[in-house]
């Protein structure tokens, strides 16, 4: 039940976005990918999703991603891009229901499982009240939550999300982070048939690219810090997100403190090189 990347490297033409990287991610983890702009976070995420040509291999539960049928892979790994495209003004509920496409046979009407998953996803993102509205009538933040619900509706054991809270107000940022943590931790949160069979299966693997270091520190179980295409640190949040690392890689002088026992990290001053 692990997502394993071996020597994965991504290049766009001559520019190497991600140098050969190996990482093992397991279910039950909420992993944050952090780092300055252009560090290769999105490239790594897309490579893990199998959406990008890359060298090296990515395997889920021992199976290489490109050896899996597209539908099988789609049921195992759900992905939410950074700026999701949306071309037709569907109803929010129907947009979320698109997440069930990998589970539905051709021509089959949505079944009870599909309806249940859709409703569950709407509840998880607190968008049930928006369900009957057309998505082009929603605010950016509301739309972002509906699109996240779409990714949740897949109920895949692996959820890869690129900056899921960038557009959200503080209330919903906290709500989504808590929800993702619960999704990662809670057993039987997914549709995966193997979940009950494997003895050590736990919840889901959630990997999120984040810019908010406080939220990453508070909610994530593991942090990968990337800079210039390399994973410079991979550990628990309190170990990775220390002042020195932030000064070095983000070039900001942070205020690192605790409040009510939880970490609080504020970028305070820019550092000149």
Partner 1 sequence: MTELARVATPASREPRGAWHLSGALAVLALAAAATSLVIGRSSSGPTFGFGGPEIASIVLTEIRLPRTLLALLVGGTLGLCGAALQGLLRNPLAEPGLLGASSGAAFGAVLVFYFGLAGADSLALPAGAVVGSLAALAALYALAGKRGDFLTIVLAGIAINAFAAALTSLALNFAPSPYAALEILFWMLGSLADRSLVHVALALPLMLPGWLLVISAARGLDALTLGEETAASLGFDARRTQWLVIGGTALAVGGAVAVTGVVGFVGLVVPHLLRGRVGHHPSRLLVPSFFGGAALTAVADIAIRLMPPGPELKLGVVTALLGAPFFLNLIVRARPASAA
Binding site for partner 1 (CB under 8 A): 46, 49, 51, 69-71, 73-75, 77-81, 83-91, 93-95, 98-99, 101-102, 104, 106, 109-110, 115, 118-119, 122-123, 126, 128-129, 131-132, 135-136, 140, 143, 147, 150, 154
Q: Which is nearer to partner 1, 104 or 251 (CB)?
A: 104
Annotate the chain with three-state secondary structure.
Answer: CEEEEEEEEEEECCEEEEEEEEEEEECCCEEEEECCCCCCHHHHHHHHHCCCCCEEEEEECCEEHHHCCHHHHHHHEEEECCCCCCCCCCEHHHHHHHHHHHHCCCCCCCCHHHHHHHHHHHHHCCCHHHCCCEHHHCCHHHHHHHHHHHHHHCCCCEEEEECCCCCCCHHHHHHHHHHHHHHHHCCCCCCCCCCCCCCCCCCCEEEEECCCHHHHHHHCCEEEEEECCEEEEEECHHHHCCHHHHHHHCCEEEEEEEECCEEEEEEEEECCC
Least distance to partner 1, CB of residue 217, Å: 25
Q: Which is nearer to partner 1, 131 or 216 (CB)?
A: 131
Least distance to partner 1, CB of residue 56, Å: 19
Least distance to partner 1, CB of residue 15, Å: 20
Q: Which is nearer to partner 1, 57 or 119 (CB)?
A: 119
Q: Which is nearer to partner 1, 69 or 257 (CB)?
A: 69
Q: Which is nearer to partner 1, 80 or 184 (CB)?
A: 80
Least distance to partner 1, CB of residue 118, Å: 8
Least distance to partner 1, CB of residue 1, Å: 20
């Amino acid at each position: 039940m692990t997502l394993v990347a071996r020597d994965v490297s991504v290049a766009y033409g001559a520019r190497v976005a991600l140098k050969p990287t190996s990482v093992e991610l397991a279910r039950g983890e909420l992993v944050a990918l952090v780092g300055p702009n252009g560090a290769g976070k999105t490239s790594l995420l897309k490579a893990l999703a199998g959406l990008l040509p890359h060298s090296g291999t990515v395997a889920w539960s021992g199976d290489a991603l490109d050896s899996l049928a597209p539908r099988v892979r789609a049921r195992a790994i759900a992905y939410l891009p950074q700026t999701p495209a949306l071309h037709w003004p569907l109803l929010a509920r129907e947009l979320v229901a698109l997440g069930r496409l990998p589970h539905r046979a051709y021509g089959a009407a949505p079944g009870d499982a599909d309806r249940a998953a859709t409703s569950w996803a709407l509840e998880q993102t607190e968008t049930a009240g928006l369900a009957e509205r057309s998505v082009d009538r929603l605010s950016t933040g509301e739309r972002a939550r509906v699109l996240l619900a779409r990714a949740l509706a897949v109920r895949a054991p692996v959820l890869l999300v690129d900056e899921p809270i960038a557009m959200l107000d503080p209330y919903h940022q906290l709500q989504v982070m808590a929800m993702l943590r619960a999704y990662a931790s809670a057993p039987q949160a997914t549709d995966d048939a193997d979940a009950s069979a494997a003895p050590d299966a736990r919840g889901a693997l959630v990997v999120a690219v984040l810019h908010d270091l406080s939220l990453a520190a508070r909610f994530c179980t593991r942090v990968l810090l990337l800079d210039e295409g390399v994973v410079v640190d991979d550990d628990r949040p309190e170990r990775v997100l220390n002042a020195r690392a932030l000064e070095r890689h983000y070039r900001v002088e942070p205020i690192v403190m605790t409040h009510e026992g939880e970490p609080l990290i504020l970028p305070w001053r820019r550092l000149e090189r």
